[in-house]
Structure 1
Amino acid sequence: MRFELTTDQRDFAASLDALLSAADTVAAARVWAEGDHDPGLKLWQRLAEQGLTMLATEATPVELCVAFEALGRHAVPGPWVEAAAYLPVALGREVEGVATVAVPPRVPLALDADVADEVYVVADGALRTATAGDRQVSVDRTRRLFTAAPGEAVEHGDLDAAYDLAVLATAAQLLGAGERVLADSVAYAKQRRQFGREIGSYQAIKHKLADVRIALDFARPLVLGAALEPTPRAVSAAKVACSDAAYLATRTGLQVHGAIGYTQEFDLSVWITKVRALVSAWGTTADHRARILESLTGRP
């Protein structure tokens, strides 16, 4: 099986990358974390006009993964997994505006419920409208998490399929974030000089960056394979691989950048905290490893 994007899919990826590269997404993410949603909502509208909110119902999971990799690469704020992956499948329609959802126990809190036009929660096996409650703390300041009190049940589709697509979208986001951290770390290693030479010329640095490159390259086929056939085992494998690869990228990025990498003011921190949050979002690594094991052995 060949895991290669078509010309149209590559063009779609290039157009999204061009749009997001010109949008100053880091600035939008930083003010989103402080409660100023205006730049992020303007970006949301532009991306919705590009068709991102209809990908789950009008395109294939491959296009969805292409889009979410771009969102991860540029650290775009907002409940994109909820509004563009989970809810369109759960509701059987494209979501109008901004929407979010909590799916306990794996997703106990609703992301950005304070800015969402529609808030939902899965309770007693049904999708229900919800009311946002108290805000909870996240390691990623751009992820504003809220409790959700269930209300009336609404008509819904396959919630398991919706969950699997959300997991796959999160995996693609992690892949994009890992690629961005690696690219920035390589660029920094070529510029930073110690003892009269670029630090990227040292074998120890080269080996660490190469390990990240290999991890990301091994994770990408799992994402594309799950996009072609999104079974529970496939999407869980993609989430585990992308979580491990992106987390390795952030650890290596911190080591390459040194002390500056730990500062909140440095842009690397935006991706480091986002990766750390996404690793446990839509099911922890342990949850997905257990699901893979169960699918192989038939025992919970």
Structure 2
Amino acid sequence: MDFQPTEDQRALRAGVRDLLAGRYGREALRASVDGGGVVVDRGLWRELGEAGFFALRLPEAAGGVGLGLPEAVLVFEEAGRVLLPGPLVATHLAAGVVPGAAAGTAVVTAFDLGGGLVTHLAQADAVLGAADLPAGQPVRSADPLTPLHRVSPPSSGDVSSYASTGALLTAALQVGSALRTVELAVRYAGEREQFGQPIGGFQAVKHLCAQMLVRAEVARTAVYAAAVTEDGGEIASAKLLADEAAVLGARDCLQIHGGMGFTWEADVHLHLKRAWVRAEQWRTAAEAEELLAAELLGSLP
């Protein structure tokens, strides 16, 4: 069997990468960080809608692209690479359910975090699974591009039917971020010199970069496999591996950057902070482990 992406899938991934490179490069990322709280670019959101990002899995008869989860994880991986902000997963899941979501004319968030927390509420037009847009109290977020609000009483928006797909798409975002931090670490290791040679020549730095790459590629393989099988246990495993690859990869990348990595000007901390938030979205590590344990126990004679 050949599990490599098809020519059409590679073309789809390349097209999304080109779109995001032109519309959300590093300058746009830094402008978002310094933009004073407005992190969802409505113009870009509509462009993503026109490109089929949100309607990717919607049937053609309903105005969608008619593709599946394998294609969806490829495009979400690209969004994770550039740290594209906004409730991408929730809006994608809302296509065909919430008017305007598929076209990118509506921003849809979801109660995908515990404790009644919701992301991007101030800029959202709807909450997935909820009848109305609730009021919320702003809560400080670790990630400057993921604003949080706490709603009390907690969510009336039921997202249980979306949890598995939401977890997989979030895992794809994490994989994209993990792969990007590998690139950032390798590039810096080749440029930064100590004792008359690039730090990438030192064994300790080589090992860190190698570990980052292995974690990212293993997670990517798990995400791709889960997108094909759509098995609940495999999706839980993929989320676990992707969260680990994104968080540990960003930490290792920061270590390779040294003191420079802790500065606001470097992008490394943005990957780490986003990875922390995503690790708590749709399915936490504890929830994924419980699901896997239940499956393993259920398979015992």
TM-score class, shorter: 0.7 to 0.9
Question: 2 CA distance for matches of 1:128 and 1:259?
Answer: 48
Q: Is the 8 A contact 2:39 2:85 kept in 1?
A: no
Q: Is the 8 A contact 1:129 1:152 kept in 2?
A: no
**Residues 164-206 of structure 1: CA distance to partner in whole angstroms, max 9, x if unpaired?**
1110010000000000011011001001000000000111111
Classify the secondary structure of the residue corresponding to 2:133: strand
1:109 is the counterpart of 2:117: yes
Q: Hey, what does 2:108 align to over in structure 1?
A: 99
Q: Hey, what does 1:50 align to over in structure 2?
A: 51
Q: Hey, what does 1:88 align to over in structure 2?
A: 95
Q: Is the 8 A contact 2:233 2:291 kept in 1?
A: yes
Q: Is the 8 A contact 2:113 2:280 kept in 1?
A: no
Could you say if the C-alpha distance between residues 239 and 152 of structure 1 is closer, same or farther in structure 2, counting changes exceeding 3 Å? closer
Question: 2 CA distance for matches of 1:27 and 1:61?
Answer: 31
TM-score normalised according to structure 1 size: 0.87
Task: Give the Å deviation of 1:92.
Answer: 10
Share of identical aligned residues, percent?
Answer: 29
1:61 is the counterpart of 2:50: no
Task: Give the Å deviation of 1:258.
Answer: 0.3
Task: Give the Å deviation of 1:94.
Answer: 4.9
Q: Hey, what does 2:150 align to over in structure 1?
A: 147
Q: Hey, what does 1:201 align to over in structure 2?
A: 201
Question: 2 CA distance for matches of 1:210 and 1:6?
Answer: 27
Q: Hey, what does 1:124 align to over in structure 2?
A: none
Task: Give the Å deviation of 1:91.
Answer: 6.0
Could you say if the C-alpha distance between residues 153 and 265 of structure 1 is closer, same or farther in structure 2, counting changes exceeding 3 Å? closer
Deviates more, 1:46-55 or 1:275-284: 275-284
Question: 2 CA distance for matches of 1:168 and 1:89?
Answer: 19
Unpaired segments ≥5 residues, structure 2: 59-65
**Residues 198-246 of structure 1: CA distance to partner in whole angstroms, max 9, x if unpaired?**
0001111111111111111111121011111222211111000111111
Deviates more, 1:66-75 or 1:267-276: 267-276
Give the letter for the 2:47 counterpart.
Answer: R
1:268 is the counterpart of 2:268: yes
Deviates more, 1:74-83 or 1:27-36: 27-36
Q: Is the 8 A contact 1:233 1:291 kept in 2?
A: yes
Task: Give the Å deviation of 1:36.
Answer: 2.9
Question: 2 CA distance for matches of 1:203 and 1:104?
Answer: 40
**Number of equivalences:** 288
Could you say if the C-alpha distance between residues 64 and 150 of structure 1 is closer, same or farther in structure 2, counting changes exceeding 3 Å? farther
Deviates more, 1:278-287 or 1:58-67: 278-287
Structure 1 segment 1-300 matched on structure 2, within 5 A: 1-33=1-33, 34-37=36-39, 40-57=41-58, 58-85=66-93, 87-88=94-95, 94-95=101-102, 96-103=105-112, 105=114, 108-120=116-128, 127-148=130-151, 159-298=159-298
Task: Give the Å deviation of 1:104.
Answer: 6.2
Question: 2 CA distance for matches of 1:172 and 1:221?
Answer: 10
Classify the secondary structure of the residue corresponding to 1:131: coil
Classify the secondary structure of the residue corresponding to 1:146: strand
Q: Is the 8 A contact 1:120 1:129 kept in 2?
A: no
Task: Give the Å deviation of 1:298.
Answer: 3.3
More strand by share: 1
Question: 1 CA distance for matches of 2:32 and 2:156?
Answer: 31
Classify the secondary structure of the residue corresponding to 2:220: helix
Task: Give the Å deviation of 1:128.
Answer: 3.5
Give the letter for the 2:284 counterpart.
Answer: T
Could you say if the C-alpha distance between residues 228 and 90 of structure 1 is closer, same or farther in structure 2, counting changes exceeding 3 Å? farther
Could you say if the C-alpha distance between residues 4 and 266 of structure 1 is closer, same or farther in structure 2, counting changes exceeding 3 Å? same
Q: Pairwise CA RMSD of aligned residues?
A: 2.6
Task: Give the Å deviation of 1:150.
Answer: 7.5
Question: 2 CA distance for matches of 1:254 and 1:43?
Answer: 29
Give the letter for the 2:197 counterpart.
Answer: R
Deviates more, 1:25-34 or 1:205-214: 25-34
